[in-house]
Chains A and B, each alone.
Chain A
Protein backbone atom coordinates (compact mmCIF):
# COMPACT_ATOMS: atom_id res chain seq x y z
CA UNK A 1 0.00 0.00 0.00
CA UNK A 2 2.80 2.39 0.94
CA UNK A 3 4.71 1.58 -2.24
CA UNK A 4 1.61 2.20 -4.37
CA UNK A 5 0.97 5.54 -2.68
CA UNK A 6 4.63 6.47 -3.19
CA UNK A 7 4.53 5.68 -6.91
CA UNK A 8 1.30 7.60 -7.57
CA UNK A 9 2.33 10.52 -5.37
CA UNK A 10 5.76 10.94 -6.90
CA UNK A 11 4.48 10.89 -10.49
CA UNK A 12 1.68 13.38 -9.86
CA UNK A 13 3.50 15.68 -7.45
CA UNK A 14 1.09 14.94 -4.61
CA UNK A 15 1.59 13.74 -1.08
CA UNK A 16 -0.50 10.60 -1.43
CA UNK A 17 -2.61 11.44 1.62
CA UNK A 18 -5.71 10.81 -0.49
CA UNK A 19 -4.68 7.13 -0.55
CA UNK A 20 -2.96 6.68 2.80
CA UNK A 21 -5.47 8.28 5.21
CA UNK A 22 -8.53 6.30 4.05
CA UNK A 23 -6.51 3.08 3.75
CA UNK A 24 -5.16 3.31 7.30
CA UNK A 25 -8.47 4.32 8.88
CA UNK A 26 -10.83 2.09 6.93
CA UNK A 27 -8.72 -1.02 6.25
CA UNK A 28 -6.43 -1.01 9.28
CA UNK A 29 -8.78 0.73 11.72
CA UNK A 30 -6.24 3.32 12.82
CA UNK A 31 -7.55 6.44 14.63
CA UNK A 32 -7.76 9.41 12.25
CA UNK A 33 -5.17 11.51 14.09
CA UNK A 34 -2.56 8.74 13.81
CA UNK A 35 -3.45 8.18 10.15
CA UNK A 36 -2.99 11.89 9.39
CA UNK A 37 0.33 11.88 11.27
CA UNK A 38 1.62 8.89 9.27
CA UNK A 39 0.35 10.49 6.07
CA UNK A 40 2.21 13.73 6.83
CA UNK A 41 5.48 11.86 7.34
CA UNK A 42 4.73 9.94 4.12
CA UNK A 43 4.49 13.24 2.22
CA UNK A 44 8.09 13.94 3.24
CA UNK A 45 9.06 10.45 2.06
CA UNK A 46 7.41 10.99 -1.35
CA UNK A 47 9.06 14.36 -1.73
CA UNK A 48 12.55 13.30 -0.66
CA UNK A 49 12.55 9.97 -2.49
CA UNK A 50 11.46 11.35 -5.84
CA UNK A 51 13.27 14.68 -5.74
CA UNK A 52 16.69 13.09 -6.25
CA UNK A 53 15.79 11.88 -9.75
CA UNK A 54 13.92 15.07 -10.69
CA UNK A 55 16.76 17.32 -9.56
CA UNK A 56 19.32 15.32 -11.51
CA UNK A 57 17.23 15.49 -14.66
CA UNK A 58 16.69 19.23 -14.01
CA UNK A 59 12.91 18.84 -14.16
CA UNK A 60 12.54 20.48 -10.76
CA UNK A 61 12.77 24.26 -10.94
CA UNK A 62 14.48 25.06 -7.63
CA UNK A 63 14.20 28.83 -8.02
CA UNK A 64 10.46 28.67 -8.63
CA UNK A 65 10.20 26.23 -5.71
CA UNK A 66 11.91 28.53 -3.23
CA UNK A 67 9.95 31.57 -4.44
CA UNK A 68 6.65 29.73 -4.01
CA UNK A 69 7.63 28.02 -0.74
CA UNK A 70 7.42 31.46 0.88
CA UNK A 71 3.72 31.46 0.01
CA UNK A 72 3.01 27.89 1.12
CA UNK A 73 4.86 28.13 4.43
CA UNK A 74 3.34 31.52 5.31
CA UNK A 75 -0.10 30.20 4.28
CA UNK A 76 0.24 27.03 6.33
CA UNK A 77 1.15 29.18 9.32
CA UNK A 78 -1.88 31.48 8.84
CA UNK A 79 -4.09 28.45 8.35
CA UNK A 80 -2.97 26.94 11.63
CA UNK A 81 -3.49 30.27 13.42
CA UNK A 82 -7.03 30.92 12.18
CA UNK A 83 -8.16 27.27 12.45
CA UNK A 84 -11.37 27.15 14.44
CA UNK A 85 -12.31 30.73 13.62
CA UNK A 86 -13.14 30.16 9.97
CA UNK A 87 -16.18 28.25 8.84
CA UNK A 88 -14.78 24.99 7.48
CA UNK A 89 -17.80 24.20 5.35
CA UNK A 90 -17.50 27.43 3.40
CA UNK A 91 -13.80 26.75 2.93
CA UNK A 92 -14.44 23.25 1.65
CA UNK A 93 -16.92 24.56 -0.91
CA UNK A 94 -14.62 27.42 -1.89
CA UNK A 95 -11.50 25.31 -2.32
CA UNK A 96 -13.51 22.51 -3.93
CA UNK A 97 -14.87 24.92 -6.54
CA UNK A 98 -11.39 26.28 -7.17
CA UNK A 99 -10.14 22.75 -7.79
CA UNK A 100 -13.06 21.97 -10.07
CA UNK A 101 -12.24 25.06 -12.10
CA UNK A 102 -8.57 24.19 -12.45
CA UNK A 103 -9.50 20.61 -13.27
CA UNK A 104 -11.64 21.96 -16.10
CA UNK A 105 -8.70 24.04 -17.35
CA UNK A 106 -6.51 20.97 -17.30
CA UNK A 107 -9.11 18.96 -19.18
CA UNK A 108 -9.22 21.59 -21.92
CA UNK A 109 -5.46 21.47 -22.37
CA UNK A 110 -5.21 17.69 -21.97
CA UNK A 111 -3.58 17.05 -25.35
CA UNK A 112 -0.87 19.67 -25.06
CA UNK A 113 2.63 18.26 -24.60
CA UNK A 114 4.03 21.63 -23.68
CA UNK A 115 2.66 25.10 -23.00
CA UNK A 116 2.65 27.73 -25.70
CA UNK A 117 5.78 29.85 -25.53
CA UNK A 118 5.08 32.96 -23.54
CA UNK A 119 6.72 36.19 -22.48
CA UNK A 120 8.05 36.14 -18.93
CA UNK A 121 6.75 38.95 -16.73
CA UNK A 122 9.20 41.43 -15.22
CA UNK A 123 9.33 39.74 -11.83
CA UNK A 124 10.12 36.35 -13.39
CA UNK A 125 12.89 37.94 -15.43
CA UNK A 126 14.33 39.66 -12.39
CA UNK A 127 14.31 36.44 -10.39
CA UNK A 128 15.50 34.35 -13.38
CA UNK A 129 12.72 31.82 -12.96
CA UNK A 130 12.74 30.40 -16.48
CA UNK A 131 14.05 26.88 -16.88
CA UNK A 132 14.85 24.11 -19.27
CA UNK A 133 15.17 20.36 -19.05
CA UNK A 134 15.72 17.43 -21.36
CA UNK A 135 12.48 15.50 -21.72
CA UNK A 136 13.35 11.82 -22.11
CA UNK A 137 9.85 10.94 -23.37
CA UNK A 138 9.68 13.70 -25.98
CA UNK A 139 13.36 13.35 -26.87
CA UNK A 140 14.17 17.05 -26.87
CA UNK A 141 15.06 19.95 -24.64
CA UNK A 142 12.07 21.82 -23.21
CA UNK A 143 12.75 25.49 -22.58
CA UNK A 144 10.18 27.59 -20.81
CA UNK A 145 9.47 30.93 -19.23
CA UNK A 146 7.23 31.76 -16.30
CA UNK A 147 4.59 34.45 -16.04
CA UNK A 148 2.00 35.65 -13.49
CA UNK A 149 4.78 35.18 -10.97
CA UNK A 150 3.14 37.17 -8.19
CA UNK A 151 -0.29 35.59 -8.75
CA UNK A 152 1.44 32.24 -8.33
CA UNK A 153 2.80 33.29 -4.96
CA UNK A 154 -0.64 34.46 -3.80
CA UNK A 155 -2.20 31.15 -4.92
CA UNK A 156 0.48 29.25 -3.00
CA UNK A 157 -0.40 31.27 0.08
CA UNK A 158 -4.00 30.06 -0.22
CA UNK A 159 -2.92 26.50 -0.93
CA UNK A 160 -0.85 26.75 2.26
CA UNK A 161 -3.95 27.92 4.16
CA UNK A 162 -5.90 24.97 2.78
CA UNK A 163 -3.15 22.64 3.91
CA UNK A 164 -2.97 24.19 7.37
CA UNK A 165 -6.74 24.43 7.93
CA UNK A 166 -8.16 21.38 6.23
CA UNK A 167 -5.17 19.05 6.28
CA UNK A 168 -5.34 18.62 2.52
CA UNK A 169 -3.91 20.16 -0.57
CA UNK A 170 -0.30 19.12 -0.29
CA UNK A 171 0.11 19.04 -4.04
CA UNK A 172 -3.30 19.10 -5.64
CA UNK A 173 -3.43 22.94 -5.56
CA UNK A 174 0.21 23.51 -6.38
CA UNK A 175 0.33 21.59 -9.65
CA UNK A 176 -2.54 23.51 -11.34
CA UNK A 177 -1.19 26.84 -10.03
CA UNK A 178 2.12 26.24 -11.81
CA UNK A 179 0.68 24.49 -14.86
CA UNK A 180 -2.47 26.53 -15.50
CA UNK A 181 -1.55 29.93 -14.06
CA UNK A 182 2.21 30.34 -14.29
CA UNK A 183 2.50 28.56 -17.62
CA UNK A 184 5.07 25.94 -16.62
CA UNK A 185 5.32 22.59 -18.44
CA UNK A 186 3.30 19.89 -16.70
CA UNK A 187 6.29 17.76 -15.75
CA UNK A 188 8.14 20.77 -14.32
CA UNK A 189 4.95 21.58 -12.36
CA UNK A 190 4.58 18.13 -10.78
CA UNK A 191 8.33 17.79 -10.07
CA UNK A 192 8.48 21.25 -8.49
CA UNK A 193 5.32 20.56 -6.48
CA UNK A 194 6.86 17.29 -5.32
CA UNK A 195 9.96 19.19 -4.22
CA UNK A 196 7.96 21.81 -2.31
CA UNK A 197 5.54 19.58 -0.39
CA UNK A 198 8.35 18.12 1.74
CA UNK A 199 8.98 21.46 3.43
CA UNK A 200 5.32 22.21 4.14
CA UNK A 201 4.80 18.71 5.51
CA UNK A 202 7.89 18.90 7.71
CA UNK A 203 6.50 21.70 9.88
CA UNK A 204 3.26 19.75 10.37
CA UNK A 205 5.14 16.51 11.01
CA UNK A 206 7.16 18.10 13.83
CA UNK A 207 3.90 18.99 15.60
CA UNK A 208 2.44 15.48 15.22
CA UNK A 209 5.72 13.96 16.31
CA UNK A 210 5.89 16.11 19.45
CA UNK A 211 2.33 15.10 20.32
CA UNK A 212 3.29 11.43 20.01
CA UNK A 213 0.85 10.80 17.15
CA UNK A 214 3.52 9.19 14.96
CA UNK A 215 3.44 5.54 16.03
CA UNK A 216 6.75 4.01 14.89
CA UNK A 217 5.46 0.47 14.38
CA UNK A 218 2.73 1.69 12.01
CA UNK A 219 4.67 4.55 10.46
CA UNK A 220 7.85 2.51 9.86
CA UNK A 221 6.54 0.05 7.25
CA UNK A 222 4.21 2.59 5.56
CA UNK A 223 6.81 5.36 5.30
CA UNK A 224 9.54 2.96 4.13
CA UNK A 225 7.14 1.67 1.46
CA UNK A 226 6.28 5.19 0.34
CA UNK A 227 9.98 6.10 0.17
CA UNK A 228 10.78 3.09 -2.04
CA UNK A 229 7.66 3.69 -4.14
CA UNK A 230 8.64 7.30 -4.69
CA UNK A 231 12.12 6.34 -5.93
CA UNK A 232 10.58 3.86 -8.38
CA UNK A 233 7.80 6.27 -9.40
CA UNK A 234 10.27 9.03 -10.22
CA UNK A 235 12.07 6.67 -12.59
CA UNK A 236 8.78 6.06 -14.44
CA UNK A 237 7.81 9.70 -14.48
CA UNK A 238 10.91 11.02 -16.27
CA UNK A 239 10.10 8.69 -19.19
CA UNK A 240 6.39 9.48 -19.34
CA UNK A 241 4.82 11.88 -21.81
CA UNK A 242 3.51 15.07 -20.16
CA UNK A 243 0.03 14.62 -21.63
CA UNK A 244 -0.21 11.14 -20.13
CA UNK A 245 0.64 12.41 -16.63
CA UNK A 246 -1.93 15.17 -17.07
CA UNK A 247 -4.58 12.63 -18.01
CA UNK A 248 -3.75 10.70 -14.81
CA UNK A 249 -4.08 13.88 -12.78
CA UNK A 250 -7.50 14.96 -14.09
CA UNK A 251 -9.68 12.22 -12.49
CA UNK A 252 -7.90 12.73 -9.17
CA UNK A 253 -8.49 16.47 -9.16
CA UNK A 254 -12.12 15.95 -10.19
CA UNK A 255 -12.64 13.42 -7.41
CA UNK A 256 -11.02 15.64 -4.79
CA UNK A 257 -13.04 18.66 -5.93
CA UNK A 258 -16.33 16.74 -5.68
CA UNK A 259 -15.40 15.24 -2.34
CA UNK A 260 -14.57 18.64 -0.89
CA UNK A 261 -17.73 20.28 -2.15
CA UNK A 262 -19.72 17.31 -0.81
CA UNK A 263 -18.12 17.69 2.61
CA UNK A 264 -19.03 21.34 2.64
CA UNK A 265 -22.64 20.73 1.62
CA UNK A 266 -23.57 17.52 3.42
CA UNK A 267 -24.52 19.01 6.81
CA UNK A 268 -26.88 21.59 5.38
Chain B
Protein backbone atom coordinates (compact mmCIF):
# COMPACT_ATOMS: atom_id res chain seq x y z
CA UNK B 1 0.00 0.00 0.00
CA UNK B 2 1.31 3.39 -0.90
CA UNK B 3 0.75 6.21 1.53
CA UNK B 4 0.95 9.69 0.12
CA UNK B 5 3.48 11.81 1.90
CA UNK B 6 2.05 15.00 3.31
CA UNK B 7 5.31 16.86 2.96
CA UNK B 8 6.69 16.80 -0.56
CA UNK B 9 10.26 15.60 -0.60
CA UNK B 10 13.09 17.73 -1.66
CA UNK B 11 15.32 17.08 -4.61
CA UNK B 12 17.45 14.01 -3.93
CA UNK B 13 20.80 15.67 -4.64
CA UNK B 14 20.45 17.94 -1.62
CA UNK B 15 18.95 15.44 0.79
CA UNK B 16 22.04 13.55 1.83
CA UNK B 17 24.47 16.36 2.52
CA UNK B 18 22.11 18.15 4.88
CA UNK B 19 21.36 15.09 6.99
CA UNK B 20 25.02 14.12 7.16
CA UNK B 21 26.04 17.64 8.20
CA UNK B 22 23.20 17.77 10.75
CA UNK B 23 24.42 14.52 12.31
CA UNK B 24 28.01 15.74 12.32
CA UNK B 25 27.13 19.07 13.98
CA UNK B 26 24.91 17.28 16.48
CA UNK B 27 27.73 14.99 17.58
CA UNK B 28 30.11 17.97 17.79
CA UNK B 29 27.75 20.02 19.95
CA UNK B 30 26.88 17.10 22.26
CA UNK B 31 30.55 16.25 22.88
CA UNK B 32 31.44 19.93 23.43
CA UNK B 33 28.45 20.49 25.76
CA UNK B 34 29.24 17.31 27.72
CA UNK B 35 32.89 18.33 28.25
CA UNK B 36 32.00 21.88 29.27
CA UNK B 37 29.25 20.61 31.58
CA UNK B 38 31.64 18.10 33.13
CA UNK B 39 34.20 20.85 33.64
CA UNK B 40 31.64 22.99 35.47
CA UNK B 41 30.68 20.02 37.67
CA UNK B 42 34.37 19.52 38.48
CA UNK B 43 34.51 23.14 39.52
CA UNK B 44 31.50 22.75 41.83
CA UNK B 45 32.82 19.60 43.52
CA UNK B 46 36.17 21.26 44.10
CA UNK B 47 38.36 19.73 41.39
CA UNK B 48 39.76 23.15 40.55
CA UNK B 49 42.86 21.69 38.91
CA UNK B 50 41.02 19.62 36.32
CA UNK B 51 38.05 21.91 35.60
CA UNK B 52 39.81 24.44 33.29
CA UNK B 53 41.41 21.63 31.28
CA UNK B 54 38.12 19.80 30.71
CA UNK B 55 36.37 23.05 29.75
CA UNK B 56 39.20 23.93 27.38
CA UNK B 57 38.86 20.51 25.74
CA UNK B 58 35.14 21.24 25.21
CA UNK B 59 35.91 24.65 23.69
CA UNK B 60 38.46 23.08 21.34
CA UNK B 61 35.93 20.50 20.17
CA UNK B 62 33.41 23.27 19.57
CA UNK B 63 35.94 25.40 17.66
CA UNK B 64 36.95 22.59 15.35
CA UNK B 65 33.36 21.56 14.53
CA UNK B 66 32.57 24.23 11.86
CA UNK B 67 35.95 23.77 10.16
CA UNK B 68 35.53 20.00 10.10
CA UNK B 69 32.03 20.60 8.76
CA UNK B 70 33.54 22.22 5.65
CA UNK B 71 35.88 19.23 5.26
CA UNK B 72 32.92 16.81 5.55
CA UNK B 73 30.98 18.85 2.96
CA UNK B 74 33.99 18.80 0.62
CA UNK B 75 34.24 15.01 0.91
CA UNK B 76 30.53 14.63 0.09
CA UNK B 77 30.87 16.91 -2.95
CA UNK B 78 33.84 14.90 -4.20
CA UNK B 79 31.89 11.66 -3.74
CA UNK B 80 29.00 13.11 -5.71
CA UNK B 81 31.37 14.25 -8.43
CA UNK B 82 30.36 17.87 -7.81
CA UNK B 83 33.84 19.25 -8.44
CA UNK B 84 32.76 22.86 -8.54
CA UNK B 85 31.44 22.81 -4.97
CA UNK B 86 34.35 20.68 -3.79
CA UNK B 87 36.62 23.46 -5.06
CA UNK B 88 34.51 26.11 -3.32
CA UNK B 89 34.88 24.21 -0.03
CA UNK B 90 38.64 24.02 -0.56
CA UNK B 91 38.83 27.79 -1.14
CA UNK B 92 36.98 28.34 2.16
CA UNK B 93 39.33 26.00 4.03
CA UNK B 94 42.45 27.68 2.61
CA UNK B 95 41.17 31.16 3.50
CA UNK B 96 40.32 30.05 7.04
CA UNK B 97 43.74 28.37 7.44
CA UNK B 98 45.66 31.41 6.18
CA UNK B 99 43.55 33.63 8.43
CA UNK B 100 44.41 31.52 11.47
CA UNK B 101 48.14 31.57 10.64
CA UNK B 102 48.38 35.26 9.69
CA UNK B 103 46.33 36.33 12.71
CA UNK B 104 48.98 35.03 15.08
Which residue numbers of A lie inside 8 Å of B, CB to CB? 41, 44-45, 47-49, 51-52, 55-56, 58, 60, 62-63, 66-67, 69-70, 73-74, 76-77, 80-81, 127-128, 131-134, 141, 164, 198-199, 201-207, 209-211, 214, 216-217, 219-221, 223-224, 227-228, 231
Contact of B39 with A66 in the complex, beta carbons under 8 Å: no
Which residue numbers of B lie inside 8 Å of A, CB to CB? 7-8, 10-11, 13-14, 17-19, 21-22, 25-26, 28-29, 32-33, 36-37, 39-40, 43, 51-53, 55-56, 58-60, 62-67, 69-70, 73, 84-85, 88-89, 91-92, 95-100, 102-104
A-side contacts of B51, CB under 8 Å: 216-217
A-side contacts of B62, CB under 8 Å: 41, 44-45, 48, 223, 227
Contact of B21 with A55 in the complex, beta carbons under 8 Å: yes
B-side contacts of A69, CB under 8 Å: 70, 88, 92
Q: At the interface, is chain B mostly helix, strand, loop or mixed?
A: helix
Residue of chain B at shortest CB distance from A231: B29
B-side contacts of A216, CB under 8 Å: 39, 51-53, 55-56, 59
Residue of chain A at shortest CB distance from B26: A52
B-side contacts of A48, CB under 8 Å: 25, 28-29, 32, 62, 65-66
The CA of A56 and the CA of B10, in the complex, are separated in Å by 12
The CA of A227 and the CA of B64, in the complex, are separated in Å by 15
Given A55-B22, A198-B65, A203-B103, decide whether A49 and B29 contact each other with a Cβ distance below 8 A.
Answer: yes
A-side contacts of B73, CB under 8 Å: 62, 66
For B59, give its contact among A70, A80, A141, A223 (CB under 8 Å): A223
For A41, give its contact among B28, B63, B91, B95 (CB under 8 Å): B63
In the assembled complex, the CB of A54 is this many whole angstroms from the nearest CB of chain B, namely 8
Residue of chain B at shortest CB distance from A73: B95
In the assembled complex, the CB of B91 is this many whole angstroms from the nearest CB of chain A, namely 5
In the assembled complex, the CB of A16 is this many whole angstroms from the nearest CB of chain B, namely 14
Residue of chain B at shortest CB distance from A76: B99
B-side contacts of A47, CB under 8 Å: 66
Sample of 20 more A-B contacts, CB < 8 Å, known A69-B88, A231-B29: A41-B59, A45-B29, A52-B29, A56-B18, A56-B19, A58-B18, A66-B88, A67-B88, A70-B91, A74-B95, A131-B14, A134-B8, A198-B69, A199-B92, A203-B99, A203-B100, A207-B99, A214-B56, A220-B59, A224-B37
